[in-house]
Amino acid sequence: MYEFTYHRPGSVSEAAKLAGEHADGKILAGGQTLLPTMKQRLAGPSDLIDLSRLDDLRGIEVKGGVVTIKALTRHVTVATSADVKAAIPALAELAGMIGDPAVRNKGTIGGSVANNDPAADYPSACLALGATITTNKRAIKADDFFKGLFETALEEGEIITSISFPVPEKANYQKFRNPASRYALVGVFVAKTGGHVRVAVTGAGSRGVFRVKDFEAALDANFAPAALDGKSVAASGLNSDIHADAEYRAHLITVMAKRAVAAAA
């Protein structure tokens, strides 16, 4: 790691102030992506603002058909939460598929969403469930939040405080893991909320998580795997790497989407 100045603020406002003051700084939540990146010297923030003392950013609440998960809630907590399992089982299952048990014991939902890694799992849930990301400044619709690879609508000094997921009628997440890294090679989150279907894909897109409107329309008409017969995402906008080329990813998106629909239905 490169040298950095370490801060451990005691409140969100203090953290936001520090983040605003140090433009080249980074916010440390669970650190499960940031610290490996820093260790490999792929990131060298001037300052590290450690949120670990902000205990009021932990917790899960289900109220009025909405699951609200505070930003520092760990993946393990979401995966094992009886409330989440009851309200949105697909979300708990997704949390239980992130990384490995030790990573889930540290990694947080806020950190994952703020980082917007193109192969992370949570962004697909946010998009498909129509989540709202709340920060210390405002509330942002998921559709407006994810802006591309590692890019979000967050501004300097803006810190995610919670994420709210409307409870869907049906939902499922199917993840095809990169065989080496175990990040999503293709992850497809399908949700039917208020009678309307959303399909979000992570891991595959060259510009990060995206929705498949074509699939959504077909599933709106008929929420069954067969509705996706013959449908596919164009390979042109998808990633190619040593593990999977764009054509294979495109194929997997349809397969995973059908499996998600079958599991949700």
Residue ranges in contact with other proteins by CB under 8 A: 1-6, 8, 28, 31-32, 35-36, 38-40, 48, 50, 52, 76, 80, 99-103, 105-106, 176, 179-182, 242-245, 248, 251-252, 255
Q: Do the Cβ atoms of 142 and 132 come closer than 8 Å? A: yes
Closest alpha carbon to 235 in 189, 181, 186: 186
Give 17 or 243: the residue with its C-beta nearer to other proteins: 243
Whole-number Å distance between alpha carbons of 148 and 118: 8
Residues 6+ apart with CB under 8 A from 123: 112, 113, 116, 146, 200, 202, 208, 209
Smallest distance, other proteins to C-beta of residue 218, A: 19
Residues 6+ apart with CB under 8 A from 47: 4, 5, 6, 7, 18, 22, 24, 25, 26
Smallest distance, other proteins to C-beta of residue 101, A: 6
Give 37 or 134: the residue with its C-beta nearer to other proteins: 37
Give 212 or 252: the residue with its C-beta nearer to other proteins: 252
Give 89 or 166: the residue with its C-beta nearer to other proteins: 89
Give 28 or 126: the residue with its C-beta nearer to other proteins: 28
Q: Do the Cβ atoms of 163 and 144 come closer than 8 Å? A: no
Smallest distance, other proteins to C-beta of residue 236, A: 18
Smallest distance, other proteins to C-beta of residue 76, A: 8
For 34, 84, 166, 256, the CA distances from 63, given in Å and listed in that order, are: 32, 11, 10, 31
Give 139 or 149: the residue with its C-beta nearer to other proteins: 149
Q: Specify burial of residue 120 (Cβ count, 10 A radius: 0-12, 13-18, 19+).
A: buried
Smallest distance, other proteins to C-beta of residue 186, A: 10
Smallest distance, other proteins to C-beta of residue 192, A: 23
Give 32 or 124: the residue with its C-beta nearer to other proteins: 32
Whole-number Å distance between alpha carbons of 108 and 11: 17
Smallest distance, other proteins to C-beta of residue 7, A: 9
Give 76 or 197: the residue with its C-beta nearer to other proteins: 76
| Beta strands 47-50 and 184-193, pairing class | unpaired
- Give the per-residue SS3 of 128-190: HHCCEEEECCCEEEHHHHEEECCEECCCCCCCEEEEEEECCCEEEEEEEECCCCCCEEEEEEE
**Helix (H), strand (E) at residue 199:** strand 196-202
Smallest distance, other proteins to C-beta of residue 143, A: 29
